[in-house]
Amino acid sequence: MESKKGNLYLIPCTLGENSPLEVLPLLIKKAIENIDHYIVEHEKSARRFIKNVASKKQQNSLHIEEINKFTDQEDIPNMLAPCLKGLDVGVISDAGCPGIADPGAAVVAQAHKNGIKVVPLVGPSSILLAMMASGFNGQNFAFNGYLPIDKTERKAKIKQLEKRSIQDNQSQLFIETPYRNNQMLESLTTALQKNTDICVACDITLSTEFIRTESAQNWKRIKVDLHKRPTMFIIQG
């Protein structure tokens, strides 16, 4: 008889330096209190998050594996070994929901292959929260990650996304390295047609949150400093 497997819990975390229980449900706290095995992007930040959520949890009881862009795919099955022994495992991203634009997706895929139950928990997603607040088409949207750094390539990509947005009535989301956010907004106002709408969703869920939708033409007259602030950009033609 096959022994009962543990579950793989996808545990969202905060999107910035705010109190976890301001934006996370109590179910997150209960899950962390009951789980000792974790797969995370960065051990140090994950330990800090766990301590903030469940202060009484003993740090020396934690078994943590890191997964990032340098992880060998052949190592991923071993990360789920506790599940095969009947123990639950938690996946934590650096920000927001694991598995969405996040290396944890590879762990989830492996869990399905191994017949391990995957349990997604409720928490903040910058992609969904930005879409909610944008006023754009929430029935058809696409997240495109980072755009090219080269100015010529980036301009061509922006125009390509604008064309797709107009043709398919599809909202186009993307992000930029925070210290290049101001340059990204400038690129958008220059490359896009004047009536194409841009939503800038910055510091989502934080006290400094800024979310605004305006036409490309109007954004040229708006002064906002996005430097080093996590920001989601959305365009809708």
Tens-place pLDDT, residues 100-111: 989 999 999 999
- pLDDT per position as a tens digit, 55-89: 889 899 999 999 988 898 999 999 999 999 999 99
**DSSP label at residue 178:** G
- What average pLDDT does this structure show over 4-19? 94
Sheet with 118-120, strands from edge to edge, namely 63-66, 37-40, 89-92, 8-11, 118-120
Amino acid code (one letter) for 115: G
pLDDT of 175 reads 96
Is the Cβ–Cβ distance between 196 and 145 less than 8 Å? no
Please name which of 79, 237, 89 lies closest in space to residue 158, comparing C-alpha atoms: 237
Please name which of 77, 13, 6 lies closest in space to residue 40, comparing C-alpha atoms: 13
Rounded Cα–Cα distance for residues 221 and 80 (Å): 52
- pLDDT per position as a tens digit, 151-185: 999 999 999 999 999 999 999 999 999 999 999 99
List Cβ neighbours of 152 (8 Å cut-off, separation of 6 or more): none
**Beta carbons within 10 angstroms of residue 116's beta carbon:** 20
Q: What is the pTM of this model?
A: 0.92
For the chain, domains (ranges, CATH) are: 8-120 (3.40.1010.10), 126-236 (3.30.950.10)
